[in-house]
Amino acid sequence: MIVLEKDRWNLEDIYQNQDEWEKDFGKVEMLLSEAGEFQVRLGECADSFFGALHLSAQIQELIVKVHSYARMKLDEDNANPLAQALFGRAAALLTRVETALSFITPEILSLPEGTVSNFRHDSRFALYCHYLDDVFRQKPHTLTGIEEQLVARTGEITRTPDDFFKMLNNADLTFPKIRDDQENEVEVTKGNFIKLMQNRNRRVRYEAFQALYGTYQKLENTFASALNAAIKRDIFYASVRRHQSARSAALFADHIPSAVYDSLVQTVRSNLGEMHRYMKLRKKILGLDQLYMYDIYVPLAEDVKWVIPFPDAVAMLKNGVAVMGDSYLEILSRGLGSRWVDLYERKGKTGGAYCDSIYGVHPFLLLNYQNNLDSAFTLAHEMGHALHFYYSSQEQPFIYSHPAIFTAEVASTVHESLLMEHLLQTTSDRDERDKKIYLLNYYLEIFRGTLFRQTMFAEFEKIIHEKAENGEALTSYFLKEAYHELNTAYHGEGMVVDAEIDMEWARIPHFYDAFYVYKYATGLSAAVSLVQQILTKGTPAVERYLSFLNKGGSDYPLNLLQEAGVDMASPHPVQDAINRFSGLLDELEALSGVG
């Protein structure tokens, strides 16, 4: 496919040519040589202390620019040997930067508290107030210099469970072939599995389901061993750093109390009746005697072929976010018209989608647009990240310009929710009934997959970590049993929980990044609450949200969301999201006529 220049991102906005990149590469190397001069000197005087912080920020801003440019050049064409070499050099330089600056935090924490307090009276340190507060928050969990070095040296060993899982899951597993709905033989892959599960032919869904999970089941003890090793690693690091549990250690980075995690699970648990209602409604609409796990992904609206070329997706998104005001819309339009986006799939290009932002330049989006609703929502999602990065970069210094994942996923989901609410509002129940059912189903699936399913994952993580922390073995039998019980609870009596789904835990890569998945559920909950405020309260809610975007990572996530109008320390945002889910169910029941 030939992709026009206007549909590619313009990396010349970062560097006009490789010579400019080489200059910054060399500048990073030069600044690194200066960093060593500050080691063991931070406590000498305010000038030394400030000089180290200022130099570190300079180096980090430059290395992000150098590294991101090289990675994006590679993402344009992964087969390009010049891009491979460029990225290899950038990655090596990044490692050197991390090593060279690693002395700063331990050395700050080794200084007498009064020394740092005296330095902070200097007005130059106002910029670093939140940064230093966060460094000292880590003091109870920071080791001596020698101990930190020893822990750092365990990194290559403790990555083994992740590497083992990735190689086994992505390289070594092969799945059987099945017959598709045209009786053609097709190999089941992780890439086409969901598409096969959406097939209206139930035989195809059943055979794909059996093929995938049957393959995992043959290696259940191997996958259990890999997950067990990852959990032991989590417990080891939590213990070494004097955290109460692996979960406490994981939540510590974003300063999230365990009560937030527990409240999410408890609130979702107490509202599982709505999830059960959705499963029963799905069963009725599909006309099934029994609903099985392989029936979950089938679209509820038949024969809706909605082709959405990119210009139409842009128009839809602009209409959806118009409530944010003219200035917001102007920035979004400028980005989409100024080659922030690398739009279409082509040979060698990295798959998927992401948004990256270069401080002092602008955000960049990688898409692989496919002219469908999924791609339209991916555009909305990544532009939500882009606008967040843009606003925070305009208002914050580099060190606070990138928000934490906990809040970043809120901004992207706000965009998706605004787009969906606009589409639901402008799609006629009578004249576009099938399309309306399609949209309601699509939105309900976002809630099912992001709020309910990710909370179930979060509960599974909590269960298996606590069992391991109590010294009990995580056998494949226990993992399957725990997972089966959760699926039964979350899907209700109207669902036949097939034995094959008991192996789903074996294919979830996020379980190797402990206690991460709950952020998807809290992100959706916060976003739904913010969107409802924006749509019902207008300007005051919009202004609070824009202020939230402006603040980037300058405070802890819960504080930033509180100021935006969402208290994630309470159950209310999660309950609000479930209430919206319930309202969508009411609409689908009425429209489908089978409630």
Task: Judge contact between 524 and 447, C-beta under 8 A.
Answer: yes
CATH of the domain at 130: 1.20.140.70
| Sheet bearing 354-357, strands edge to edge | 341-342, 363-366, 354-357
- Asked if the structure places residue 69 within a domain, the reply is yes
Instruction: Name the token pair of 542.
Output: 């919009």
* DSSP helix/strand/coil, 41: coil
Domain extent for 9: 5-153
382 catalytic per annotation: yes
pLDDT at residue 129, as a whole number: 94
Q: Which one of 61, 107, 220, 382 is the catalytic residue? A: 382
- Asked if the structure places residue 29 within a domain, the reply is yes
- Asked if the structure places residue 497 within a domain, the reply is no
* DSSP helix/strand/coil, 55: helix
Does the structure show a pLDDT above 70 at 595? no
581 vs 132, 277, 423, CA distance in Å? 41, 11, 16
> What confidence tens digit (pLDDT) does each residue in 458-497 have?
999 999 999 999 999 899 999 999 999 999 999 999 899 9
> What confidence tens digit (pLDDT) does each residue in 354-398 have?
999 999 999 999 999 999 998 999 999 999 999 999 999 999 999
- Asked if the structure places residue 223 within a domain, the reply is no
Nearest to 343 by CA among 299, 307, 385, 309: 309
In 10 A of CB 430, how many CB atoms? 7
* DSSP helix/strand/coil, 364: strand
What is the 3-state composition of the chain as percent helix, strand, coil, each rounded to the nearest 5? 70, 5, 25
- Asked if the structure places residue 73 within a domain, the reply is yes
Q: What is the pTM of this model?
A: 0.91
- What separation, in Å, do the N-terminal and C-terminal C-alpha atoms of the chain show? 46
Q: What is the rounded average pLDDT for all residues in the chain?
A: 94
Alpha helices in 448-571 (DSSP H): 453-469, 476-491, 518-537, 539-550, 557-564
Which regions of 360-435 does DSSP assign to beta strands (E)?
Answer: 363-366
190: confidence class by pLDDT, cuts 50, 70, 90? confident
Domains in the chain, number: 1
- The span from the CA of 13 to the CA of 432, in Å, is 43
Burial class of residue 360 (count of CB atoms within 10 Å of its CB; 0-12, 13-18, 19+): exposed
- Asked if the structure places residue 446 within a domain, the reply is no
- Asked if the structure places residue 120 within a domain, the reply is yes
Those residues with Cβ within 8 angstroms of residue 225's Cβ, 6 or more apart along the chain or in another chain: none
- Asked if the structure places residue 486 within a domain, the reply is no
- The span from the CA of 91 to the CA of 113, in Å, is 36
> What confidence tens digit (pLDDT) does each residue in 336-357 have?
999 999 999 888 888 889 999 9
> What confidence tens digit (pLDDT) does each residue in 161-175 have?
988 888 888 778 889
Backbone angles phi and psi of 496, in degrees to 5? -85, 115
In 10 A of CB 175, how many CB atoms? 18
Q: How far is CA 83 from the centre of its chain?
A: 26
Between the CA atoms of 3, 352, 529 and 388, what dihedral angle is there, to the nearest 10 degrees? -60
Which residue's entry shows tokens 């190999």? 187
